[in-house]
Structures are given as structure tokens and as C-alpha cells.
């Protein structure tokens, strides 16, 4: 049997809240301990935060993880954290033009390497980077490859030197690093003053809901999105005999090309996630 609450909810995380805060509120509202989000948003940031509830947490690894953001960059200063939370470490009176910005942005399209901010939760030798930073300890930070699918200027005010960007990118991209690195390329410094995540895989800003609009467990239940809506994999409907085998962890024959994953369904409900190898299912997760 599936959990009474089984699915994901598209939360709009407000600035100042942590992703953990969101999970804590939903646990209090639902009484459900099995809750997890699909990609941390810094307290400084706001926007889309998909949260899985019940056994849907077991599906997080199969969810699309591309992201999109609107980031606002202030040129003329750099900070330790690459955003408004840090100390100013460099200033410049030089003004850049729209043409300067357009040219510099060409360095940030496609597959790029970026250094994560020292004030981030990435672990090196078992410790988070910000733990080293807070203690003033030096640590080697290695660049990471990320992919920028789309990078566009939404607006640029040459007087205030404030740039608004739309960024569609792969998982693990640090928009703070783009702001900082863009400022370095332009020779004036730059830091992020606002960040809104507008998309996380299937989940979009337009369809998100604020925690303030969730007052009861029933409110959460009414806004749950069933996993079949957001899992983008081929599907195979089980007959009764196949369903019984799957429920006991027994492989079944599937006439399909070998694919990364197939969603097995029964009666229009998710029954399992499987791979196909040699014409047989290799079960990854079972929900019946």
C-alpha cells in the first residue's frame, strides 16, 4: 500500500528561510517524518523548492535536476561570499557598458569550469567549505564542470551597474560564482544581490505555492503532485501476474530496449522503478 501522503509539493521558499525550515514546517503540518527536498536553496535565495513526502522521497534520485534562475548582479564590488551576506573585499569606480557585459558573458555559456564559493556546503576532506572559511583555514578548492544551457540578459542599468540575468543550468551550478567570476572578467568585481530559482526540473515558479498558504495536512494533501506527473521515463503497465511477481521482488520479462529506467505501473499507479538488462527487469525501487 502507498502512504496516504505520497508525492511532491512545489514550495515557494521565501528569502531568509532555510530548506530545512521548509521541511520542518511540512513535518509539523503533516505529522510525516519521511520528507526531503530536492536541492538546497541558500537562505539568501528564494523560489522553487520541490519537496517529496512519504515514500516519494525514494524517487528523488530519478527526478530531473536541471535548474533555472533569475540572478541580479551588482558590479563595482566583490564580497567574501559572492553575495550580500559577505564582507566587501574589492571595489571599483569603473563603469562597464552593455556591450562589455554581452562580450564577457560569452565566457559563461555551454560547459564551463567554476570554483564553488568558499562559503558553501561542499565537503572537502569531510568538512564543509564554509567551516574552513569561518576558521580562516586555507583549503584547496578544485573547479567543477557545469553546463550553462541558456544565459540571457533580462535588463542592465548602466547608471547603477545592476545586471539581471536569466540562467538555465545543470545541477550544481553556483550562480554566486557566475556573479563573482563575471565581475572578475570585467575587471570591476561583482556580487549577487538577489536570486530567484524559477525552475527545478518539472517544477516551475508559476505552479509553486507559499508555505503561508498551507495551514493543514489537508492543504498539503490537496497540493501534492503524483510522481507519474514529474518522472520522465518510459512506462510499462503490469498485468496481475506481473504485479504479484514484482511485489515479491521477482524479475519479469520486458520486451524493451535496454534503457536507464522504466516506471512500472499497475492500475495507473506507480508500482516500481526498474532497469531492463537482457530482456529482464532489474528492480531498483518497489512501491507495492
Residue 232 a catalytic site member: no
- Residue 162 CB coordination number (10 Å): 16
Domains of the chain listed by start with CATH number: 7-64+202-229 (3.30.2350.10), 67-195 (3.30.2350.10), 233-286 (2.30.130.10)
| The model's pTM | 0.91
Phi-psi bin for 63: left (phi > 0), alpha (psi -120 to 50), beta? beta
Residues 6+ apart with CB under 8 A from 82: 117, 119, 174, 176, 177, 179, 180, 191, 192
Q: How far apart are CA 79 and CA 140, in angstroms?
A: 19
Residue 110: the pLDDT is 97
Largest interatomic CA distance in the chain = 73
Residue 3: the pLDDT is 44
Residue 1: the pLDDT is 39
The residue from 3, 21, 42, 219 that is catalytic is 42
Q: How far apart are CA 78 and CA 81, in angstroms?
A: 9
Residue (of 288, 248, 251) closest to 271 by Cα position: 288
- Residue 62 CB coordination number (10 Å): 18
Mean pLDDT split into 10-residue runs, the chain, 288 residues: 78 94 97 93 93 97 96 97 93 98 98 82 61 63 91 98 98 94 98 98 97 96 97 94 95 81 95 89 93
Residue (of 96, 83, 15, 64) closest to 168 by Cα position: 64
Residue 191 phi/psi, 5° resolution?
A: -150, 160
List, for residues 83-108, the tens digit of each pLDDT value: 999 999 999 999 999 999 999 999 99
Amino acid at each position: 500500500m502507498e502512504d496516504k501522503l505520497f508525492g511532491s509539493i512545489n514550495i515557494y521558499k521565501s528569502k531568509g528561510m532555510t530548506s530545512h525550515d521548509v521541511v520542518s514546517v511540512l513535518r509539523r503540518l503533516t505529522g510525516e517524518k519521511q520528507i526531503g527536498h530536492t536541492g538546497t536553496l541558500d537562505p539568501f535565495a528564494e523560489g522553487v523548492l520541490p519537496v517529496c513526502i512519504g515514500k516519494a522521497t525514494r524517487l528523488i534520485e530519478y527526478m530531473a535536476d536541471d535548474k533555472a534562475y533569475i540572478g541580479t548582479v551588482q558590479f563595482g564590488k566583490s564580497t567574501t561570499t559572492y553575495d550580500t551576506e559577505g564582507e566587501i573585499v574589492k571595489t571599483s569606480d569603473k563603469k562597464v557598458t552593455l556591450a562589455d557585459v554581452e562580450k564577457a558573458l560569452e565566457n559563461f555559456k555551454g560547459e564551463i569550469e567554476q570554483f564553488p564559493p568558499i562559503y558553501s556546503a561542499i565537503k572537502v576532506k569531510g568538512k564543509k567549505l564554509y567551516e574552513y572559511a569561518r576558521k580562516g583555514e586555507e583549503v584547496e578548492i578544485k573547479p567543477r564542470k557545469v553546463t550553462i544551457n541558456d544565459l540571457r540578459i533580462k535588463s542592465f542599468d548602466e547608471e547603477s551597474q545592476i545586471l539581471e540575468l536569466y540562467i538555465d543550468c545543470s545541477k550544481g551550478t553556483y550562480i554566486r560564482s557566475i556573479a563573482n567570476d563575471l565581475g572578475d572578467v570585467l575587471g570591476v568585481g561583482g556580487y549577487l544581490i538577489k536570486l530567484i530559482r524559477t525552475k527545478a526540473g518539472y517544477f516551475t515558479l508559476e505552479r509553486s505555492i507559499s508555505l503561508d498558504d498551507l495551514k493543514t495536512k489537508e492543504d498539503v494533501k490537496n497540493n501534492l503532485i503524483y510522481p507519474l506527473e514529474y518522472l520522465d521515463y518510459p512506462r510499462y503497465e503490469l498485468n496481475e501476474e506481473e504485479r504479484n511477481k514484482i511485489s515479491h521482488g521477482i524479475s519479469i520479462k520486458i520486451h524493451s530496449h535496454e534503457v536507464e529506467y522504466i516506471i512500472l505501473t499497475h492500475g495507473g499507479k506507480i508500482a516500481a522503478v526498474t532497469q531492463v538488462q537482457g530482456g529482464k527487469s532489474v528492480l531498483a525501487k518497489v512501491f507495492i
